[in-house]
Amino acid sequence: MTTLAAVGIGAGIAATFLHWRPFRVEIEGPSMSPTLEPGDWALAVAVGQLRRRDVVVIEHPTRPGFEVVKRIIARPGELTSVGRLLRSDEFWVEGDNRGASTDSRQFGPVTRDRIRARIRLVYWPVSRRRIL
């Protein structure tokens, strides 16, 4: 491999990293079970287009600095499970294990600026490895 090719590959990797800004998330608690189990390690990437059913990392609205993982149930302009119409910057999030989840049903909708990342891949344990 030539030096120029190595530099090109390195630049491509760096550009991809800067664009997606990936980071590791360790799942704690049962609120996203069975999709995500306590002890799962997942790869999260910078938020782009958000769709209903995406699994996202959010900053808890009433606990600044505390991040939780939830699923987007409704997007701006949609009606929530409790009959509320979401404003242009609001998302409704819930845990997959509703009986063990503190989510929008308790703290209300979350604004776009509270959504930190989208979970893309569960990579540990190996037996649970998959793309979300």
Q: How confident is the model over 35-43, as a mean pLDDT?
A: 96
pLDDT tens sequence across 86-123: 999 999 999 999 999 999 999 999 999 999 999 999 99
Whether 31 maps to a domain, the answer reads yes
Range of the domain at 94: 24-131
Q: How confident is the model over 5-20, as a mean pLDDT?
A: 50
Environment class of 7 (CB within 10 Å of its CB; exposed 0-12, middle 13-18, buried 19+): exposed
pLDDT tens sequence across 14-33: 445 444 466 789 999 999 99
Q: How many domains does the chain have?
A: 1
Q: What is the pLDDT of residue 54?
A: 97
Q: What is the pLDDT of residue 2?
A: 73
Query: Looking at residue 50, which CATH number applies to its domain?
Result: 2.10.109.10
Whether 7 maps to a domain, the answer reads no
Is residue 43 within 8 A of residue 119, CB to CB? The reply is yes
Q: Which of 69, 64, 90, 86 is nearest to 77 (CA)?
A: 86
Whether 76 maps to a domain, the answer reads yes
Provide the annotated active-site residues.
31, 70
Whether 6 maps to a domain, the answer reads no
Q: Is the pLDDT of residue 6 over 70?
A: no
Structure tokens at 120: 């893309």
In angstroms, the CA 92 to CA 25 distance is 21
C-alpha dist (Å) from residue 59 to 47, 62, 71: 13, 9, 13
Neighbours of 118 (CB within 10 A): 21
Whether 70 maps to a domain, the answer reads yes
Whether 16 maps to a domain, the answer reads no
Q: What is the pLDDT of residue 81?
A: 85
Whether 2 maps to a domain, the answer reads no
Q: What is the pLDDT of residue 19?
A: 46
